[in-house]
Structure 1
Amino acid sequence: MNTTTRQELLAAFDKLLQPERFKDYGPNGLQVEGKTQVRRVISGVTASRALIEAAIDAQADAIFVHHGLFWRGQDGRVTGWKKQRLALLLAHDISLFAYHLPLDAHPQLGNNAQLGLRLGLTASNCFSEQDLGFLGGRSDGGSFATASDLALHVKNTLKRPVTLVGVGHAAIKKIAWCSGGAQGYFEPAIAAGADAFITGEISEPQAHLARETGVTFIACGHHASERYGAPALASHVAAQFGLHHQFIEIDNPA
């Protein structure tokens, strides 16, 4: 097993994800500085205390996540849960790398690309700002006979219940998707001509839009739609340096 430096690892993540391209809700990159040398990298969806504790048990030198510790508009005081998480990272000298929108958008290793891969979807182009929303269809060129067929496919693939609203189209061919809390991209997906839109969450307005426009809306869970990008990208970078990598799944019903 090889080692690399924290800065070399950061440079590799930044080169792939290009965080400078994005207007985001928090800092992308190195959020907590740990030891200089890195041998073991743990990836996960969110920098929760459960993930940090599991990473400590796995003797991690660095953690790579989609949801980090710091967000715009958040109370900046280091108390309560934030103090507990930071204390664990600092006590064990573990670096925390977090990339939010850049990890969603990466065309091969990001959350949207990896979600599409698992659902058997291929993107032909992006339909929203910052290249976050993907638009395409089935990789085999076919279609889903009904919205219910597509919803069942998503449910079986991700192994969790989904919310389905709107069954207007007789066949679903043109599909838009964006992982996480991207319900606000439903209207751009409709404008792009999608027959269906897949994301993690649904809010009250989207149910009405789905019924009124005939465009299917499928919510498959925020966590469930974003658990593939972090391990794909961290594994890719770890392999470049010959590092040990492990993805740790912390279940989340949201």
Structure 2
Amino acid sequence: MKSVLLTLALAVCFFSLAQNSGIKQGDQALFKECLNQEDPYFCTNESFKNLISKLITPTLTQEIKNSTYKDGLDISILFISDEQGKVIREDIEVYCENKNLQASARYLISKLPAFEPKSDKHLTRQSVHVYNLTFIPTPGYESYMLAPPLLTNKRIGYERLATYKNCEGDLHESQICFHKKVFEVIRKNVTLPETLVSYTDQINVFYLVNTDGSFILVDVIGGTQELHKETKKLKEDIKRAFTKIPPAQPALIRGIPTIQDFNLPVKTSMTIKNYYGN
């Protein structure tokens, strides 16, 4: 029988949510028109990004095309909605090299209709909204579109990332400690398939730490075809493991608990002894 090892790849990064975020209504302020959608949180995020995309008019496209940032324009946005779901205008932050887009985005945010706020089960019903977006040109620089998440530069970050009380040290050390604890629960509760043929492979575990510190598994993406065959069972095992992860201290922005999303790369490999059939 092959012995399969599970190891942690320490390069942990953030990701853009797929349409199964697992965030329930009441955990974050949402667009009211999204409340009846299958995933209101995903709907809210995509709707807002579409609003920002529409600010890239033909005139602005020409302006960007003739600039030093014609191959990629970043815009980072942070705003807070209050207990009634209204945007707090004094707390709007927008960073962008193109000042026209920056001003247009700030004005758009200030005019947003009230969100459906967090439920009263939270200590604060204020919600933080953070978007780090990059626009890249289409062929011929005819227009600009949103770049995939992995190509996006992030200027707005968290004042505290999700962590555990006993994970002390600087930011880097704290995050390594945090992810090792998450990984250890996965390792103890997941039996990887023995059908893995390649010596090493990698799966990516996408998850959230909610505003209350609870963990939500979003998706698991496998590597090789052999591993893909077992993906359904693998997802079920990892989902079960996530129910056993103790709540963490949530991420903070402006002192407000904030949803944080992660991509945890996990490497799978057979032991050298069994790999060579000994």
- TM-score category, normalised to shorter length: under 0.3
**Greater CA radius of gyration, 1 or 2?**
2
Higher helix share: 1
Structure of higher RCO (CA pairs closer than 8 Å, 6+ residues apart): 2
